[in-house]
Chains A and B, each alone.
Chain A
Amino acid sequence: MKYSTSFIAGAAVLCSAQTAFAQTEIEFWHAFTGRLGELVAEQVETFNASQNDYTVVASHKGNYSETLNAGIAAFRAGEQPDILMVFEVGTATMMGAKGAVKPVYEVMEDAGAEFDQSKYIGSVKGYYTSADGNMLSLPFNSSTPVLWVNRDMLEEAGIDPDTDLSTWENVGATLDQLKEAGVDCPMTTAWQSWIQLENMSAYHDVPFATKDNGFGGTDTELVFNSPAQVAHISALGDWAKEGKFIYAGRRNEGGANFRSGECALFTESSAGYAGIKAEAEFAFDVRPLPYWSELVDEPQNTIIGGASLWVMEGQTDEEYKAVAAFLNFLSSPEIQAKWHQDTGYLPITTEAGEKTRADGFYDENPGTDIAVIQMTANEPTNNSKGLRLGSFDQIRGIIDEELEAVWAGDKDAQAALDSAVERGNALLRRFESSQR
């Protein structure tokens, strides 16, 4: 970047006729629509305008599952894109596809691009690194669960809106008060498996699966039916029975209930910020996800959800150079800080977080740094680095089914989690044999 931008822009106009031939074009398939889709398009345009050698063509391929399927189908036909967005639960599938994906650290190395892996936030990149600590994909949008609080509702129920909600014990007492005050929906949740089981396990530093949550090999087994998780699900089950915890659905259906001012407490991704800020007609707060003080003195870190960018095999060296340039562009502090502030997703580099703080964003939007602090407070352990399980989308489906049995009062927490573990393990064994 030796030249000024105006010079480059001028040169680009002058040379556009010639450079049209010389430019390397790369394809980037993503799963974003609406506001997020516009922001991705903006990133791509900024990149394309910032240099003359490469052009990124971004295409929307449906939701996360559909994008992954489009990528798989394209690979089978030999028409794969250069960059494919894959959600976090597809990580093990992508990792297993040796010969279909080219690890990001290799792409960077081969392209001779500058790539300092230590710049990336440990608990964000950790989900996507190999056992020896190399980044296999580039985290793109990452978020982590937090507790959203409707301050007005607490006040109306005669509760101090600044009351300590850092532990589930305190949350339980507050739910009692809310119920007594006649609140119909004291608490609801989004993404129950992700928040109430996966993150709950990491946050209390208990394993979700053996072999370091699957990082150590595909012969991993689920173990989320241990006393800690059973106690948590059991407590939620009791609250559901007493009408203090309202189940709204498997995805983020509960968001509508919270945003309309119907529910007082809501556990949801930190990325819910934009929607809540836009729609909520009440004072709200972001608090750290609660933990059980009877289980731990202080919580570990939470884990992420979201998607990362995978580079596909079978492209030319020129194209990989373009990919490397684009991924580096996405990781730059300016682009990352903007993305973090626009969307509520976590920054992927420490620098971007610091820049956001220096910009005064956290002061203007109190609570937006809670997720970052919660993620980075502690060095991740083997239980809190993330999850790497095959067929994980289906396992989540099984967990959803079993948890629904608890909320409906058909099963107790132990029986439901035992059954989820048994059914999930059968899927893990199938995935293991598909990877041989």
Chain B
Amino acid sequence: MADIRNNFVGIKSPNPFWLASAPPTDKAYNVIRAFKAGWGGVVWKTLGEEGPPVVNVNGPRYGAIWGADRRLLGLNNIELITDRDLQVNLREIKQVKKDWPDRAIVVSLMVPCVEESWKAILPVVEETEADGIELNFGCPHGMSERGMGAAVGQVPEYIEMVVRWCKANTRMPVITKLTPNITDVRKPARAALAGGTDAVSLINTINSITGVDLDSFAPQPTIDGKGSHGGYCGPAVKPIAMNMVAEIARDPETHGLPISGIGGITTWRDAAEFMALGAGNVQVCTAAMTYGFKIVQEMIAGLENWMDEKGHASLDDIVGRATPNVTDWQYLNLNYVAKARIDQDACIKCGRCHIACEDTSHQAITSMVDGKRHFEVIEAECVGCNLCVNVCPVENCITMEPLAAGAMDQRTGKPVSPIYANWTTHPNNPMAKVAAE
């Protein structure tokens, strides 16, 4: 049986599935329900400084996009950090940690960008015996207008400064949560590392408008006729988040920096993919908000089952396994040649591959052969782009088949070279590095 116990920067949890800082972790009631359901840990919803609590809007806080049958694909929110009294939160954190010592409790924090504010909050959090803190440098709405959240996360120098204050004023591990609303995620990650962070977590939510009411011409979610950008999350953001995780994992400057992966994780498979790209554990929110806490049972069982099937004994066997395979385009092998192949027994003759290729790509799939409706790849035209595979409604009906070295590529009229060769040495590249004579 695979061992999925997690040790993330010294914080131990029975599995790598944490609930992200968000509404599901705003109070003891929810967190206890989550622990009963089996979640390995939580990041308690962001606490602010002592004083009058934050206020939220009293209209819709969420917007969404859906697939057919209203499957939720993307969720957006304009909720702020916790609007509960600081002392109530601290009391509850302390009690829950005491009652659930085997689970991880990390406390998310966001206070003004002055050292005194951080010096004030850190000891009172430490006193709860929480396992660590997460710095919320990602919240993209409301708080950022007040110089916090993403407003800090978008300035690497601020990140480094605040992380340094925290490391200087607490013994707790510091996880720095990054915003995706930047150009190059490596810069804030490097800054966090320079400040001495123990780990980064990403991604926070993405600036978004989920829809426009075409009667009132108001963006959604709509508050009294107006809307404000919210933070986008859910299954739709997963590919964006995975790329950012991989960018940090493979950056020579931050390689080895622990990462807690966040962004659209809904199933055990999503979690395994994030971990393969370099995440030491994962945080989940939208999936729980859509289906409830019970989904963690599928995640735990699914991850264990896959690890058993593949012979992975512990999480260390899978974390980062895909990272070395993420590279720059210029290093991809240009001598690798694949062609689409349509399994005629599986083909249901919908013709989507044909029309996609014919209208928008390479005219490499027939629609009619000998007067009969028949879809077949014309190898001499096929560039192996994979579009037909992606639009085919039948799984495994169209596959990309690599040509063996020496086989004739009918499109180029040349045999496939057995030698790895990339753009850096390609003759068409004016910057090509010429091999030494």
Same assembly: no
On B, residues with C-beta under 8 Å from A are none
